[in-house]
Chains A and B, each alone.
Chain A
Amino acid sequence: QSALTQSRSVSGSPGQSVTISCTGTSSDVGGYNYVSWYQQHPGKAPKLMIYDVSKRPSGVPDRFSGSKSGNTASLTISGLQAEDEADYYCCSYAGSYTSVFGTGTKVTVL
């Protein structure tokens, strides 16, 4: 199980859109529609933002959206806000009731 690959950092101005990619293999991202995304502010536990590739839990703004194509999943944040500055991790089911996380992406709001 190797960590999924994410870009190290992305940045954008308030109101802009940013997209984070998450690349795995056919044994994880490409093999299942169980990709989730987590937001983590410094010193805090991660928070679920997207599950099942593109579903939003109750309370998550619709500015956050997810998608997947082949072995790569993506998280898009539209209308970037200051509070969106955080680390973001993707996660995929990898079979046998286990999962693998991405390497993490730092989102900076300029």
Chain B
Amino acid sequence: QLQLQESGPGLVKPSETLSLTCTVSGGSISSSSYYWGWIRQPPGKGLEWIGTIYYSGNAYYNPSLKSRVTISADTSKNQFSLKLSSVTATDTAVYYCASVPGVVRWDIDYWGQGTLVTVSS
């Protein structure tokens, strides 16, 4: 069973870059069976899909965030990462990393516990 754990700063200043890492255990991010994704949820609001990455390194982004987002993977550490640039208060949210069994289906079968990132000076 996969386990995912987010890590990174809980506080980021406006205009700076938010950086988070997801460490995967119980499976390999080099698996051809999975995509790996990031989702966020502002306090008291709904879920928003940020983007996904495949083991090949190909990344796919929500069009509304595409200009500011980069998702990358480090197979040697079994981790994948999120960078979101030029953040504002509206980027304050709980950020989740997740696994998507995307070869034969498209949904999120495992989620990290989530990490709250607050954008504030």
Contact = CB atoms under 8 A, between A and B. Distances in A.
Interface of A: 1, 3, 32, 34, 36, 38, 45-48, 51-52, 57, 89, 91, 93, 96-104
Contact of B109 (A48, A91, A97, A101): A48
B47 A89 contact: yes
A104 B46 contact: yes
Contacts, number: 65
Given A36-B107, A48-B108, A51-B107, A98 B60 contact: yes
A57 B113 CA distance: 19
B4 to A, nearest CB: 9
B77 interface: no
A98 B47 contact: no
A29 to B, nearest CB: 13
Contacts of B54: 97
Dominant secondary structure at the B interface: loop
Given A1-B63, A45-B96, A98-B61, A38 B108 contact: yes
B108 A97 contact: no
A3 B111 CA distance: 20
Interface string B20-60: 00000000000000010001000000111101101000101
6 contacts: A36-B107, A36-B108, A38-B47, A48-B107, A91-B49, A99-B106
Contacts of A57: 109
